[in-house]
Chain A
Amino acid sequence: MSLMAEVGQKAFNLGVPLAVHMDVTYRCNERCVHCYLDHDDHGEMTIAEIKAALDQFADAGVFFLTLSGGEPFMRRDFFEIVEHARRLLFNVKVKTNAVMIGEAEAQRLRALAIDTVQISLYSHRPAVHDAITKLPHSFERTIRAVKFLRDRGLKVTLANVLMTANLSDHSGVQELAAELGVHYALDPTITPMMDGDTGVLALRVPGEELPALFRNSALVASQEEFCAPPTPPTDQDLEGYSCSAGHSFCYISPYGDVFPCVQFPLPSGNLRRQRFVDIWSLSPQLKEVRSIQAKHLQVCSSCSHVSSCSRCPGLAYMEGNMRGPSTADCEKSFYRTGVPTANMLRQGLSKPRTTAPLVQIQPLAVPA
């Protein structure tokens, strides 16, 4: 186990919020076809509120801080947020489309010793990328920013969200990343709109296309192991938990709402009304999330994939039951190994159901 993994496990066991993802705005200068966010400002936290939140995160033990959006640079005070975060000695990662990053911004991020800048790039073909972002010349501006950041020695990762519109472009983006001397990360997850509209799910990579991705040596390093049939779960597997959501990680919306994860829209508190440490320690919702072990999963505990499945409790929650299966992960397990999941078997399906009714992040209702 690496030192980093050891530290992660220690934080998990102790219930320390080692990592926080905070969206500082949902506003954006792009209108990506697959985006689940409502880009209107419904009362974002002020700079004072954000700084106070960062102070509280530091006191609670948060080390890794991801700042994202929306497009975080849409906030004119974004650098003030980053400066405060770095003054508090967070390891800061920024997720952005980079369209607003010029030479001066790149220099400033470098001076602030940001760990990584993760930049969304959908295709190596400008027309395809721009058609997805709906912002003319966004490809050109994003790539220019990548070069500015790279030239100043910042670590850059190109995040390639894969969907039907750019399904064949992952190798092109990978090659472009290599050419630019930056990292590449693939993400095939598409989630529904905040207003519950599931139309965007039609953009998801069809399950039948997943085996080709899983067996692509450029994307998956140890395919034999990755695609091996599942092994029977051990007692230890059944005592295990799904992921760090709510255990050592949480998500904060621009409105101060706290959730177990960016992909787990279970309202667990609000920083405008409660201290972060109180939400983290006392929230009944987070306590419930933390109580769920693999043996408690209503369908998955009897599934042959339980020890190796990437089951996301947030996606399961979006399907209506955080102890239930996550259909998107059932699909991945099936197409990865060829072995049907318990969720498929109970429904008599020979292929996983590809769409499920999902809910999305909503701001907490504020009592009048």
Chain B
Amino acid sequence: MKSAPLGVFNYMPETYIARSTAIAARMLAGEMMVMNSVNSTFFTLNEVATAIWQAADGSTPLRTIVRERVCAEFDVDPEQAESDAEQFVAELSSHGILLVSDHPLALESAR
């Protein structure tokens, strides 16, 4: 009998996020300013997005970040939080501000 290939059952790949080394970032009155020096895209992140940003260490899965840093600290629906986080990550990665991978990444820390 053949065994089922890995990933067929109960397997969802993790997403790992890390801050790009090409960015500048600083907190201003509770919001994180983030700028990509290469393409000059500039964002300010609200409290929830800032929490995800600060936790984007390249080694913690996004799902864990959402559970431990968003759901635990903010009054949000877990499913909604996960969906919003995925959208946020997609947006910032499209501007080269976050790096996304299905395996752990290296990063530099935000102050």
Would you give the 0/1 interface string for A255-296, flagging 1 where the beta carbon is closer than 8 Å to chain B?
000000000000000000000000000000000000000000
Whether B37 pairs with A113 at a CB distance below 8 angstroms is yes
Partner of A3, one of B23, B25, B27, B44: B44
When distances are taken between beta carbons in the complex, the residues of chain B under 8 Å from A153 are: 38
Judged by a CB distance under 8 angstroms, whether A316 is at the interface is: no
Judged by a CB distance under 8 angstroms, whether B33 is at the interface is: yes
Q: List 26 A-B contacts (CB under 8 A).
A: A3-B42, A3-B43, A7-B28, A7-B33, A10-B28, A10-B29, A14-B29, A16-B28, A16-B29, A18-B28, A58-B111, A62-B26, A87-B108, A89-B25, A89-B26, A89-B108, A90-B26, A113-B21, A113-B37, A113-B38, A114-B37, A115-B35, A115-B40, A153-B38, A155-B37, A155-B40
Judged by a CB distance under 8 angstroms, whether A104 is at the interface is: no
Whether B22 pairs with A113 at a CB distance below 8 angstroms is yes
When distances are taken between beta carbons in the complex, the residues of chain A under 8 Å from B27 are: 61
Whether B37 pairs with A61 at a CB distance below 8 angstroms is no
CB distance from B43 to the nearest CB of A (A): 8
Residues of chain B touching chain A, judged by Cβ–Cβ distance below 8 Å, are 21-29, 33, 35, 37-38, 40, 42-44, 108, 110-111
Counted as pairs of residues, one from A and one from B, with CB atoms less than 8 Å apart, the total is 57
When distances are taken between beta carbons in the complex, the residues of chain B under 8 Å from A7 are: 28, 33, 42, 44
CB distance from B50 to the nearest CB of A (A): 14
A90–B25 Cα distance when bound, in Å, is 7
Judged by a CB distance under 8 angstroms, whether A63 is at the interface is: yes
When distances are taken between beta carbons in the complex, the residues of chain A under 8 Å from B35 are: 63, 91, 115
CB distance from B31 to the nearest CB of A (A): 9
Q: CB-nearest residue of chain B relative to A65?
A: B24
CB distance from B108 to the nearest CB of A (A): 7
A88–B21 Cα distance when bound, in Å, is 11
Q: Is the interface of B mostly helix, strand, loop or mixed?
A: strand
CB distance from B41 to the nearest CB of A (A): 10
A287–B21 Cα distance when bound, in Å, is 37
Residues of chain A touching chain B, judged by Cβ–Cβ distance below 8 Å, are 3-4, 7, 10-11, 14, 16, 18, 58-59, 61-63, 87-92, 113-115, 153, 155
When distances are taken between beta carbons in the complex, the residues of chain A under 8 Å from B38 are: 113, 153
A279–B42 Cα distance when bound, in Å, is 29
Give me 19 other A-B pairs in contact (C-beta within 8 A), A7-B44, A89-B111 excluded.
Answer: A3-B43, A3-B44, A16-B28, A16-B29, A18-B28, A58-B26, A59-B111, A63-B26, A63-B33, A87-B108, A88-B111, A89-B26, A90-B24, A90-B26, A91-B35, A91-B37, A92-B24, A92-B37, A113-B23
CB distance from B38 to the nearest CB of A (A): 7
CB distance from A111 to the nearest CB of B (A): 9
Partner of B28, one of A11, A59, A89: A11
When distances are taken between beta carbons in the complex, the residues of chain B under 8 Å from A87 are: 108
A286–B43 Cα distance when bound, in Å, is 30
A16-B28, A58-B111, A61-B28 known; A4-B42 Cβ under 8 A: yes
CB distance from A354 to the nearest CB of B (A): 38
When distances are taken between beta carbons in the complex, the residues of chain A under 8 Å from B26 are: 58, 61-63, 89-90
When distances are taken between beta carbons in the complex, the residues of chain B under 8 Å from A91 are: 24, 35, 37
When distances are taken between beta carbons in the complex, the residues of chain B under 8 Å from A62 are: 26
A113–B37 Cα distance when bound, in Å, is 6
A89–B53 Cα distance when bound, in Å, is 14
Q: CB-nearest residue of chain B relative to A116?
A: B37
A11–B33 Cα distance when bound, in Å, is 12
A228–B99 Cα distance when bound, in Å, is 48
When distances are taken between beta carbons in the complex, the residues of chain B under 8 Å from A89 are: 23-26, 108, 110-111
A7-B33, A89-B23, A113-B21 known; A63-B28 Cβ under 8 A: yes
A59–B27 Cα distance when bound, in Å, is 10
- The interface centre, meaning the residue of B23, B37, B44, B108 with most chain A CB atoms within 10 A of its CB, is B37
Q: CB-nearest residue of chain B relative to A93?
A: B37
CB distance from A79 to the nearest CB of B (A): 16
When distances are taken between beta carbons in the complex, the residues of chain A under 8 Å from B108 are: 87, 89
CB distance from B54 to the nearest CB of A (A): 12
CB distance from B46 to the nearest CB of A (A): 13
A115–B40 Cα distance when bound, in Å, is 8
